[in-house]
Amino acid sequence: MYLGGLVRKEFGRIRSNKRTLLLLFVIPIILIVVFGLTTGVGITKLFTSAIITCDDMPTYDDFPNNSSKYDDTFISIMQYNTSSWDLYRYYNATNSEEYDNAYHNCYNFLKNGDIHIIIILPANFSESVENKISPVLIYYIDGSDLAAITAIEVAIQEPIALFRAETDMIANFTMMVPYLEFDVPFWESAILNYAIPIILPIIILGTTINLTSLSIVAEGPLPRMLVTPTAKREIILSKLIANSVIMMLQSTEIFIMISFFGLYSLGSLFYFFLVLLMIGFCGICIGLFISTLSPTEQSANQMYLIMFIMIILFSGSVLPLNADLQGVQIFINLLPLSNAVPLITDITLKGLFPNLENLFWLNLSSLIYIILAYIIYMFKKLEV
Amino acid sequence: MVNVENLNVKFGENHVIHDVNFIVNQGEIIGLFGISGAGKTTIVRVLTCQIEKKHWTGNVKVTDLSPAKKTNHSLILTNIGYVPQLELLNLYFDLSPIDNVEVFTSTYGKNKKEAIKIAKSLFKILDLPEDTWNKRVKHMSGGEKKRLSMAIGLIHRPSVLFLDEPTTGVDASKRYDILTYLKKLNQTLNTTMFIITHDLESALICDKAAILREGKLLEFDTPQKLISSLPSKGLVARFTVEHLNEKLIDYIKKFSAIKTLLRVGNEEIEVLMDDFEENLPKLIQYMIDNNIKINSMSKDFASFRRYFQIRIQEEEEKEKKFKDSEGD
Ligand SMILES: Nc1ncnc2c1ncn2[C@@H]1O[C@H](COP(=O)(O)OP(=O)(O)OP(=O)(O)O)[C@@H](O)[C@H]1O
Ligand SMILES: [Mg+2]
């Protein structure tokens, strides 16, 4: 078996390619550190809120035991107890005129960016809590920033969780803009955690494709290998193995780094790591595919760029895509980001089991790329 | 060691090699000479299992195995070595010579330790300085890379080594070094060598020279024998003639003993004749009688370079005559 030596050779070549290795191992660190630090350690209040209560006898500040008790608790939590929220203004509105006024003011705050959310506690809020009925909570958020919506929807879970702990509440909240109810607080690194599903696959794909896209075109002595008893398939297999090992190291590094900076995954960390590996593997398959398809190094670089742009554009995260044509949908599914983003989102933010359809398409695309690479390589005319 | 009988190679309508025959014995150095497009590389590619059987016919044996059979390929490729023309195609520049040895050893599935031992002895024969063995190939000089390339071709102890243009792109003084090293390797290891080359000086170390032209093998013999097959065993008279021009050349050619006349410089010609010793004074007299001014004159045996020129010229003239007669 000639594989051992070939694999060692691949390692030697990868090792000598300092720039690519730097990209592979340092970029994730930089990005994670930047995102990790951006979230702070919980000192900064990330979001600002305004609250309108509609209970009859609001006596916030001097806590008598009346029906607005829980409104006060909620407001107090918003003001003092959360790590991610700040209370900007508080209004009490017991009739529609007061409500309209309060809402109008809040609307302007929201519009000007003074606040991120308007929370409305309806008239029967405290009563519902007292009677152990699901209390209703209404909120309005700025819809112009897609990214902020999710972050805010995620962060609002913190005061809710705190409130429930404080009041020993068993019933769920009924959200008027309901998304998903999270049981576990993970706002410590909200930005990092929020960025992970999109940033992480992009880093992994970008660097692994970069690692492998030159591995065949740029290897001068490759044709000469064919004047030895080495088979072509052993050559391509050795590349797959060596690059996969490097990719695993990278995934491990990323995994450790983000754990250090407070990855709070609702779902299984094992699945999370597994999905990282699958994404990396797909990157390697795409890289090898590009490398076999390209006649020159320059064209490999161009194809890398084109492929990468396509992957990002059609990921579903940049442009909301809804392909009616089945062919287009399959094309999008074969671009790894369109599956990688939902997979990581599901695991970390929603705590779900990885979506089987996404898993299927992600790995199917890896398989297709590597098989294509193999076929092209077998038919490629290599002459010494 | 290598037998070629009636080799014909066709790429579609393009008939590239015509009825080539030769036999090579163990330990011989064979030079494959021919101008560009003559078919040198094509023949070597047949011998090294790189051309599919559907493109060629004939009875070919390399180390007693036929490349016609796909199942023989891996054995043949184990028995032969190949040194490509460009080092870039043979060496991993980012790895050290020893690492390169390891890589190529693994492609032959041979024992690593033993291969490194062999490699070190080869490095010594080739005078590769020991301090370069573990540094990157990138930093070696051109000549060192060339020699390393040759060593890599030999690490698995092949019985036949193919070298593509080993002296091209190397300056004149180094060229002789390379040839000397090749001869040294050939003598110490008794490796059969095929040298594809445009460099006619390489004939110095060749036991046999194969001269190819347009896919046909014109000659296959020792360079000495080929040279002495010329008129008067290859004796050449060289003249420097004042105001030499085509008309003058035609005039000199009229001297009946002249077999071949070559213009080799602005005012220089070389002449081959039957009965050289007898006819030389007569030729000089003929030129003096006709007011052709000779500035200098010398005699020598033809070099292989000259032989090659004459042989190719002869062939071209033959072809031209054949075409002219066809035209009539
Ligand atoms: N795969 C091929 N398909 C078609 N024609 C080919 C192929 N390979 C070689 N030829 C033709 O065969 C002829 C001989 O080519 P070959 O490469 O053997 O020449 P050569 O003697 O090695 O020349 P050079 O000194 O330039 O390397 C050329 O005319 C070439 O165009
Ligand atoms: Mg050639």
CATH classification at residue A151: 3.40.1710.10
Same domain for A169 and A141: yes
Tell whether the model's pLDDT for residue A150 goes beyond 50: yes
Same domain for A237 and A106: no
Q: What percent of chain A has pLDDT over 70?
A: 81
For the ranges A100-109, A189-198, A224-233, B151-160, which has the lowest average pLDDT?
Answer: A189-198
Residue A38 lies in a domain: no
| Residues A2, B95: C-beta atoms closer than 8 Å | no
Calpha distance A271→A293 (Å, rounded): 33
Of A176, A204, A237, the residue at which a domain comes to its end is A176
Cβ of residue A297 closer than 8 Å to a chain B Cβ: no
Calpha distance B10→A278 (Å, rounded): 48
Sequence-ordered list of residues with C-beta below 8 angstroms from that of A104, at least 6 positions apart, any chain: none
- 0.85 surpassed by complex ipTM: no
**Chain region(s) in chain B for CATH 3.30.70.100:** 227-327
* Residue ID of nearest Cα to ligand 1 atom 1: B11
Same domain for A276 and A165: no
Annotate B19-69 with DSSP letters as a single string: EEEEEE-TT-EEEEE-STTSSHHHHHHHHTT-S-GGGEEEEEEETTB-TTS
- Which residue range forms the structural domain that includes residue A118? 47-176
Same domain for A203 and A172: no
Q: Which of B41, B56, B213 to mutate to test the pocket of ligand 1 (most atoms within 8 A of CB)?
A: B41
**Exposed, middle or buried: residue B298 (CB in 10 Å: 0-12, 13-18, 19+)?**
exposed
Tell whether the model's pLDDT for residue A94 goes beyond 90: no
pLDDT at A179: 35
Report the SS3 class of residue A56: coil
Beta strands B29-33; B208-213: pairing state: parallel
Tell whether the model's pLDDT for residue A305 goes beyond 50: yes
Between the ranges A42-56, A113-127, B293-307, where is the mean pLDDT highest?
B293-307
CA distance B187 to chain A (A): 24
Please count the helices (runs of H) and the strands (runs of E) in chain B. 10, 13
Residue A7 lies in a domain: no
Same domain for A336 and A289: yes
Residue A261 lies in a domain: yes
pLDDT at A369: 96
What mean pLDDT comes out for the span B127-144? 90
* Residue ID of nearest Cα to ligand 1 atom 6: B11
Tell whether the model's pLDDT for residue A146 goes beyond 50: yes
* Residue ID of nearest Cα to ligand 1 atom 7: B11
Same domain for A375 and A307: yes
Residue A301 lies in a domain: yes
Taking only the tens place, the pLDDT of each residue in A32-42 is 776 666 544 33
Tell whether the model's pLDDT for residue B163 goes beyond 80: yes
Question: For A8, which residue in chain B has the nearest alpha carbon?
Answer: B103
**Exposed, middle or buried: residue B166 (CB in 10 Å: 0-12, 13-18, 19+)?**
buried
Which atom of ligand 1 is found nearest the CA of B39?
A: 18
Residue A12 lies in a domain: no
What mean pLDDT comes out for the span A135-156? 74
Tell whether the model's pLDDT for residue A188 goes beyond 50: no
CA distance B74 to chain A (A): 5
Taking only the tens place, the pLDDT of each residue in B73-97 is 999 999 999 998 888 888 999 889 9
Tally the C-alpha atoms within 13 A of residue B250's C-alpha that lie toward its C-beta. 3
Measure Cα distances from A254 to A193, A228, A265, B96 in Å.
13, 39, 14, 32
Q: Which of B260, B265, B256, B247 is nearest to B317 (CA)?
A: B260
Phi and psi torsions of A227, nearest 5°: -95, 20
Q: How far is the CA of B3 from the centre of ligand 1 (A)?
A: 21
pLDDT at A142: 67
For the ranges A139-143, B91-95, B104-108, B184-188, which has the lowest average pLDDT?
Answer: A139-143
Measure Cα distances from B2 to A293, B30, B166 in Å.
37, 11, 21
Same domain for A312 and A205: yes
Sequence-ordered list of residues with C-beta below 8 angstroms from that of A169, at least 6 positions apart, any chain: A129, A132, A163
Cβ of residue A223 closer than 8 Å to a chain B Cβ: yes
What mean pLDDT comes out for the span B136-161? 91
- Please give the angle made by the CA atoms of A261, A277 and A359, to the nearest 5 degrees: 110
pLDDT at A67: 66
pLDDT at A191: 59
Question: Which band of pLDDT confidence, cut at 50, 70 and 90, is reported for residue A361?
Answer: very high
Name the token pair of A373: 């690479």
pLDDT at A176: 64
Residue A349 lies in a domain: yes
pLDDT at A285: 96
CA distance A221 to chain B (A): 4
Q: How far is the CA of B39 from the centre of ligand 1 (A)?
A: 5
Same domain for A328 and A278: yes
Q: List residues near ligand 1 (CB under 6 A).
A: B 11, 14, 16, 34, 36-42
pLDDT at A62: 46
pLDDT at B18: 94
Tally the C-alpha atoms within 13 A of residue B283's C-alpha that lie toward its C-beta. 27
DSSP E strands in chain A: the ranges are: 47-53, 85-92, 117-121, 136-141, 174-175
Per CB-CB distance under 8 Å, the chain B contacts of A9 are 92, 95, 99, 102-103, 106
Question: For B88, which residue in chain A has the nearest alpha carbon?
Answer: A220
Taking only the tens place, the pLDDT of each residue in A306-321 is 899 889 887 776 665 5
CA distance A181 to chain B (A): 55
What is chain B's length? 328
Do residues B239 and B297 make contact, with C-beta atoms less than 8 angstroms apart? yes
Of A176, A201, A234, the residue at which a domain comes to its end is A176
Do residues B272 and B236 make contact, with C-beta atoms less than 8 angstroms apart? yes
* Residue ID of nearest Cα to ligand 1 atom 31: B37
Summary mean pLDDT of chain B: 90
Q: Which of B222, B130, B126, B141 is nearest to B178 (CA)?
A: B126
Strand partners for B272: B260
Question: For A15, which residue in chain B has the nearest alpha carbon?
Answer: B94
Question: For B85, which residue in chain A has the nearest alpha carbon?
Answer: A384
Q: Which of B10, B13, B14, B85 to mutate to test the pocket of ligand 1 (most atoms within 8 A of CB)?
A: B14
**Chain region(s) in chain B for CATH 3.40.50.300:** 2-221
Q: How far is the CA of B44 from the centre of ligand 2 (A)?
A: 9
For B227-327, CATH number out of 3.30.70.100, 3.90.700.10, 3.30.413.10, 3.30.56.10 equals 3.30.70.100
Same domain for A63 and A166: yes
Which atom of ligand 1 is found nearest the CA of B45?
A: 18
Strand partners for A117: A49, A141
Summary mean pLDDT of chain A: 80
Question: For A229, which residue in chain B has the nearest alpha carbon?
Answer: B74
Beta strands A85-92; A47-53: pairing state: parallel
Q: How far is the CA of B43 from the centre of ligand 2 (A)?
A: 9
Backbone CA torsion sign across B38, B40, B41, B43? positive
Report the SS3 class of residue A114: coil
Residue A263 lies in a domain: yes
DSSP state of B203: G
| Residues A5, B50: C-beta atoms closer than 8 Å | no
Q: Which ligand is nearest to the CA of B198?
A: 1
* Residue ID of nearest Cα to ligand 1 atom 30: B37
Same domain for A172 and A219: no
Instruction: State CA A72 to chain mean position distance.
Output: 35
Calpha distance A262→A240 (Å, rounded): 32
Tell whether the model's pLDDT for residue B99 goes beyond 80: yes
Residue A351 lies in a domain: yes
Identify residue A93 by its one-letter amino acid code. Answer: A
| Residues B104, A228: C-beta atoms closer than 8 Å | yes
Total domain count for chain A?
2
Per CB-CB distance under 8 Å, the chain A contacts of B94 are 12-13, 16-17
Partner residue opposite B106 with nearest CB, options A6, A13, A223: A6
CATH topology of domain B2-221: Rossmann fold (3.40.50)
Tell whether the model's pLDDT for residue B102 goes beyond 60: yes
CA distance B6 to chain A (A): 24
Q: How far is the CA of B57 from the centre of ligand 2 (A)?
A: 20
Packing angle, helices A269-293 and A337-344, rounded to 10: 170
Tell whether the model's pLDDT for residue A224 goes beyond 70: yes
Question: Which band of pLDDT confidence, cut at 50, 70 and 90, is reported for residue A383?
Answer: low
Report the SS3 class of residue B3: strand
Do residues A178 and A151 make contact, with C-beta atoms less than 8 angstroms apart? no
**Exposed, middle or buried: residue A149 (CB in 10 Å: 0-12, 13-18, 19+)?**
middle
Do residues A47 and A85 make contact, with C-beta atoms less than 8 angstroms apart? yes
Of A176, A206, A231, the residue at which a domain comes to its end is A176
pLDDT at B79: 93
pLDDT at A185: 37
Same domain for A273 and A164: no
